[in-house]
Chain A
Amino acid sequence: MLKTPLYETHLAFGAKMAPFGGWMMPIQYQGILAEHAHTRQGVSVFDICHMGEFKLQADPVLSGLDHLITQNIISMPFGSCRYGFMLNEQAGILDDLIVYRINKANWMIVVNAATISGDLAHLKENLSAGCSLENVSDKMAKLDVQGPQSLDVLKKIFGEGIGKLNYYTFSEFIFDQETCIISRTGYTGELGYEIYIANDYVGRLWKLLLKDSRVLPAGLGCRDTLRLEMSYPLYGQDLDINHTPLAAGLEKFVNFSKDFIGRDALVREQKNGPKEHLIYFQADSRRAPRHGFAILDKGRQVGTVTSGSFSPSLGKGIGMGYVAGNYDIGAQLVVKQEATEIPVRIVKKPFLKKTSLYELRINT
């Protein structure tokens, strides 16, 4: 089991640790509900060192990089990030990732922890021999600072300049004479930042962040409830090689005006419509749908829950899952496992519509 540079720090803080994607990660400190609420109202710091980072020096066209990603990366301004997918020829999702364009030919690609080696093999196989690809996951740490107060907290450490970052842009900042990358991105639905910094410096940064009495550590437990309330998919649960971006309803992250691996299969799928659709549903009770529960329509199974939980913000059970066929918003279904039956209603995503992410995006 792998450990992040902050492993001992978490233990000393009394965190509950559990395996996640091959890593021993902090699931909670004071409690999932308290950490969830603090992220929505204040500011939390998350140890996300398990995620993968690749650095790439390559011309986006000549190297074949643009051909590997569903988004158009040639048009990306320097200092911007873009969320997209790597697909196989059948348009199955190999990973969801964020591409960072540092300058004309320098890139950082941020991928899921469990898919690092698979992604690396896929990139090596498809990129031209001339470009340099380095897996820096073992050297690079990542902290997410998320919540409506995150900007105020980070200004104190990195200076006023961080206020200039728009949503899905990044810049280099100095911490302890070390250069780090900070992007205005996140997985919580709040105003937030992701900080990429060398392993040797992350302990000091973590400590400094927590010196600010507004900041509390938060674990992967509330990261999951926070992202689920925003309907953000989790790779390995809601996205996988058996589903396409069309089935997941995420075609806005696919650019059909260019060629990429999996495009032909997606175009074919578009003609007839995907066999399955990712739907979002809410229970009227506090009872939580769970991963693996069956989704029933009038007693007949039509799909399976991929993610589900109690929503701390709504006080209701929420979830998502793939169903065969087309269902409208408002349709009534049942999720079931053994004797547990939860009536649910299909809702429009996201579950939570008012957060600091939306409020502050309007201003920038």
Chain B
Amino acid sequence: MNIPKNIFYTKDHEWARIEGKIAYVGITDYAVHSLGDITFVELPKIGKELKQSAYCATVESVKAASDVFAPLSGKVLTVNTQLVTNPELINQSAYEKGYFFSMEFSNEAEKANLMDAASYQKYVEGISK
């Protein structure tokens, strides 16, 4: 299971890579493996105000549809439009080419609700048992 260091994780298997006031958001390798082949993504609109842990996107695999939740509160800056026609990028590169969107996050304190790589690793191992 690929769990890169220096990025943050949620219990719902989203990740956030923080660069200054901007966070890049996607779903983790664990999420991708449980979903299987991803066939469709609905991304949030640019400018949309997101709330931490609230619905922000939809991802569909051949077998099922799943909600994606915002790892932080803030405004959507850019979306990865490549995913609209090539959702398989998420399967191929969950943490790089398969990112969903970037956002300007509004509350530093919310970072405390996220896990680092080591905690997320333990969390995932706990689920698998």
Contact = CB atoms under 8 A, between A and B. Distances in A.
Interface of A: 16, 27-28, 31-34, 221, 225, 285-288, 290, 309-310, 312, 317, 340
B63 interface: yes
B37 A288 contact: no
B65 A310 contact: no
Contacts of B62: 32-33, 221, 225, 288, 309-310, 312
A290 B62 CA distance: 10
B40 A31 contact: no
B36 A288 contact: no
A287 B60 contact: yes
B40 A285 contact: yes
Interface residues on B, range: 10 to 19
A158 to B, nearest CB: 33
B65 A31 contact: no
Contacts, number: 44
Interface string B68-92: 0000000000000000000110010
Contacts of B102: none
Listed residue (A16, A28, A287) with the most chain B CB atoms within 10 angstroms of its CB: A287
Contacts of A16: 36
Contacts of A288: 39-40, 60, 62, 65
Given A221-B63, A288-B60, A31 B37 contact: yes
A166 B77 CA distance: 60
Contacts of A309: 62
A243 to B, nearest CB: 25
Contact of A310 (B42, B58, B60, B91): B60
Given A221-B36, A287-B40, A288-B60, 18 more contacts: A27-B63, A31-B36, A32-B37, A33-B39, A33-B88, A221-B63, A286-B39, A286-B40, A286-B60, A286-B87, A288-B39, A288-B40, A288-B65, A309-B62, A310-B39, A310-B60, A312-B39, A312-B62
